[in-house]
Structure formats: structure tokens, C-alpha cells
Structure 1
């Protein structure tokens, strides 16, 4: 999506990326308007340059035969705080632009880590079609995030912290302060194992009866026990059963609705009966961290789960949900 600019009114559309710009600028006591003014000046300048091209070139642009390449066109080399194309302006964040960062010679590494994560969050939000909540990011949350993200320099962990920031900008209170503290203690290997788990979550639970696909993907009892030790799963080693209550449909049948990653699973029956199964369930922190993964539900695992459920007399239908 990027920052959309209305060429008629010369206004910016508020979306996830613009909200990130405002959040970071406000939190770090930086004039939020300054970055947008630079972007606006460049956008207007490029518009003027396009207008000065020949009528034939303009016609070809309007007809879609030609496009104006902002990077290869006439660009002021003295202004490098934005990368953009027609209708899309992509800000970048530099710690030198913000006087109230971590500061100090010993903290330059922390500043680099923090702003790399912020720029990665900007890339994530530039492609997001989700409309952000109007609720602001809480100040305590942002500074807790900044302090935590500043301690990581690996590409994998910086991407993880970027996803946390992007998610919180779109929907404040998605990630608790406790979850931020938890993430600070994770190694990259542990984070990767948690991410792997996300492809096997249905209705906030792991169907333990699907043993073959779980074992084939490195999620047998031992690995799940380690995830429980990490505070992600609960019920490993005990006889926990997940229960879903059916609802009456318009044709007097009964259906159990179960949400999974990008899918809705519907279990139909002609009698009202509770659907129960052996499972491990996610903790509160586990539920929040599952939102960071873009992995789809594992198809082999889903097929095994459906096979088990069908033996209980349910008719199963799965509906793909928009990402």
C-alpha cells in the first residue's frame, strides 16, 4: 500500500504506514510533519516534471504504454529520505533524524538495531491492506518495544520485532507487555520452533491424535514438551480434551465452527453432540505469538485431523479465508 498521496487535494491517506510514521515521530519527539513535508515536496516536484514532458509522452503514460520510473527519472540527489513510485511514497527511518533516541556512543548499535526493525515494519505495513485502528500505540508499550528490539541484530529476530511493531500499529494491545518481555528471552532457534508450531494450530489447539503428521514435522511429544517449558503450550503430558459446542443451523442441522490459520472448518451432524478431542492448547502468550506467523496450516496435518473427525460421524467442510 505505502503512503498514498492524493494528487488533487495534496493530502496523505492514513493507513498502517502513515500511522507508523506518526507513532515513531511522536514517541521520539520528532516533528511528524517534517518527513511528510519532504515526501510531499518530492511528489509535487515529480508531478511538475511529468507535466513538462511532451503531450505524446503524457498520452502514453495515461494509456499505460509508458510508466514514469522515479528512480531513473529526474530526482534530487540531495534528498534521500524517501523511496517512492507513482502514487506510493515509502519513508525510511534514520536514527540521525531523531534527536531523542537511545543516544551515546555506546548505544549506537542499539539505535541501528531499533531503526532497522522500524524500517522492516514499514516494509510490512507498505504491503498491508488492513485498515489500522484509530487507537494510538501506548507510550509505555512503544518504549518497552524499543528497549527490547534494540538488543537483537540477527536478521531473523529483527524481522520478528518488526512484525510485532507492525501488528501493534495496526491493532494496539495485540501484544502485551508480558509478551514483549517474553520475546526478549527467546533465542532464534526457540523462535523458529514456535513459528513452526503455528502451522499445526486449529482452534487454538494442537490435535494430538494426528500423531503421524506431527511426528513427521518434528512436533512429537518431546518437542511439544519443550514448547510447554517455553510457556507456549499447556496440557502436554496430561489427558486434556478440547470441547466445541455445536450451534443449530437454519435447516435444523448442527454445526461446529473451528477457525484455523486462513481456514474455517465446519463440522456438520444431524444430532446435537459435543465435539471433543485430545489436544494441547496454546497459552495466552502462545496465542499472541501465533499472530506473528504467516505459515499456512499444514495440509498433511489437516487431512489427518479431518480423517479422525470423519470417523466420529461428522461431515466436514473447509472454507479458505482471506489472509
Structure 2
């Protein structure tokens, strides 16, 4: 998705990518509309060209092999930092367009890290179908993000900071300043460990009765203790916590529900006075925010083991696959 050209109607779809363009332009003191106007002008020019060229030329244009320049005509595609890909015009951010962006100095390495993360965020948002909130990204948040993201050069960490920016553009206040500071102190190995945990989270909890699945993925007691030391989990070095499911919370419906990935899990109660209190570890507030970054699916073996342990206690579990 993103800034999208419609060949027939010549209309443009406004979403997270457009909001990112405006956010970066506003925060870094650039002309808010200039890049957008350039991209739209190039898109319209390309649209007109498509109607005039042969089918073979159209195919090459849509595949990104060729582009149209008013002076040079058909040329190999490299449209002045606006990539043309199957009809989508996507702006690219360059540090040279925003001089002295870091503490009044042109720190090449930091600027490079920052803008690589911004461009990755643009790619993420160009594929997003989520409608962004109208609430703007806070200035203090953006400059804290910029300072933090500028310190990381590895591809993995740049992608992580890009996900943070994209998530905040779509829904401001998704990631707190405290979480930004936390992420700033993480190593790549620690970030990867936290990301792995996301496949074992149901309702902000890790169900410890699913021991086989957890231990098979290095998330037994010692693995979870490490995650507690990292500030992601709580209750590990004690007797654990109890996640109370009370049928009375749903009145006479006699079930509680939990959305997990694309599954809706329903815990059915035969006795409305009966509660279910599984042993678990819980995510901290920081842990809950960081889980928003993960795109990993729920571990199926873990889900089946959780369901099995619950059913052994006399409860019934029903799982429904939600529509995409």
C-alpha cells in the first residue's frame, strides 16, 4: 500500500507512508509538501506515458525496468530518489536533504544510521493497510527516537528501530520514552531472545505448564529468568503468578475469550462459579510494548500444549481462526 497511483482514476491513497513523509519533514524543518508534490508529479507523468506506449514498454515500466524522463524519454528506472515499483511511488529520505540534523553537526555515520532506519520504516508503511491515527507523533518522542536509532549500524537493529518508528507513526504513544531508552541499551542477541519469546505469549502471559514446548525453545526456567533480568517478564524467580479467568466476568455467557495472532481462543465454563487459575509468568509494561514489534506467529506446539493442560483440568477450549 502506501502512496499509490491508480492508473484509471489518477487518485492517490493517503496512509501511513504519507504521514511518515509529513512527520519527517515537519520534525527536520523541511518543506512538508515538496517531496510529496514531486512524487505525485512524476506519478502523473508516468501515468500519461503508460497510455501512449506499446504493451511491451508498459510491461517494462510496470516492472521497474524503464522510466520516463521529459528530456531523455524512456530511460532505465532510477527516478531521482522516487522508486517506481508496480505503480507505487515511494519517496526515499536522504541525509543531504536535511543538513545538520544531529546536534547542529553533520555526523555522517549517525545520519546514515538514522536515515536508513527511516527508509526501512517507509518500506514497512508502504505495505501497511492500517489507517494511521490523525494524532501527530510527539516532537520529544521523535527526537528521542532519532538519537537512539542513530547509534545502531547492524541490519537487524536498524530494522527494529524502523518497526518502532512505523508503529508510532500509525499509532502515537504505542512506544513510551521509557521503552525507547530500554531498547537503546539492548544488544542484538538480547533483542533476538526477546523476539523469540513473542511466539509464546498468550494474553500477556507465558503459561509455564507447557514445559516441553518452552524448554525445547530455551525458554525454560533459566531462559525466562534471563528475560526477567532484562525487564521483560515478572514472577519468574518466585512461585510464579496465577492468571485468573473468572466466568463471572462474562456474565451468563460462561466463557472468556482471548485473541492470539489470528486465532480467537474461547475458554468454556460448565460451572459459572468455577475459576481457572493457570501458572504463568507475566509481561512487564515494557515487555508488552516491545511485543508490538514482533511479527512472529504463535508457536503451534506451545498452543496445543497449553490447550491440553487446560482441558486436563476439566475445561473446554475452542479455537476459531479469524478472518485476515
1:321 Cα shift? 3.5
- What does the per-residue CA deviation read over 1:269-316, in whole Å, with 9 as the maximum and x for residues that have no partner? 221121211110000000000010011110111111100000111111
CA contact (8 A) 1:253 1:270 kept: no
Query: What is the Cα deviation at residue 253 of structure 1?
Result: 5.0
What is the match of residue 317 of structure 2? 316
Counterpart for residue 275 of structure 1: 276
Aligned-partner Cα distance in 2 for 1:310–1:3: 48
Q: CA RMSD in A?
A: 2.3
Tell me if structure 1 keeps the 8 A contact 2:198–2:294: yes
Looking at structure 2, the residues matched to 322 and 226 of structure 1 have their Cα atoms a distance apart, in angstroms, of 36
Q: What is the CA distance between 1:38 and its match in structure 2? A: 1.4
The within-5 A match list for 1:143-292 is 143-239=143-239, 240-246=241-247, 254-272=254-272, 273-292=274-293
Q: 1:134: which partner in 2?
A: 134
Q: 1:280 to 1:153 in 2, by over 3 A?
A: same
2:83 aligns with 83
The answer for the alignment partner of 1:124 in structure 2 is 124
Q: CA deviation at 1:154?
A: 0.4
In structure 2, relative to structure 1, the CA distance for the partners of 1:222 and 1:29 (3 Å cut) is: same
8 Å contact kept, 2:117–2:159: yes
Q: Secondary structure of the residue that 2:172 maps to in structure 1?
A: coil
Find the residue that maps to 2:162 and give its secondary structure: helix
Q: Secondary structure at the match of 1:84?
A: strand
Q: TM-score, normalised by structure 1?
A: 0.90
Partner of 1:267, secondary structure, is: strand
Using the size of structure 2 for normalisation, the TM-score is 0.90
Gaps of 5+ in 2: 70-74
1:73 aligns with 2:74: no
Contact 2:199 2:298 in 1 (8 A): yes
What is the SS of the residue equivalent to 2:182?
helix
Q: Secondary structure at the match of 2:243?
A: strand
**What is the Cα deviation at residue 244 of structure 1?**
1.7
Q: Deviations over 1:137-175 (max 9, x none)?
A: 000000000000000000000000000000000000000
1:76-127 per-residue CA deviation (whole Å, 9 max, x = no partner) reads 368422012354111111110113511535x110000000000001111111
In 1: Cα distance, 2:19 partner to 2:281 partner: 37
Name whichever of 109-118 and 241-250 sits farther off: 241-250
Q: How many residues are paired up? A: 314
CA distance in 1, matches of 2:320, 2:121: 30
SS in 1 for 2:277: strand
Q: 1:32 to 1:7 in 2, by over 3 A?
A: farther
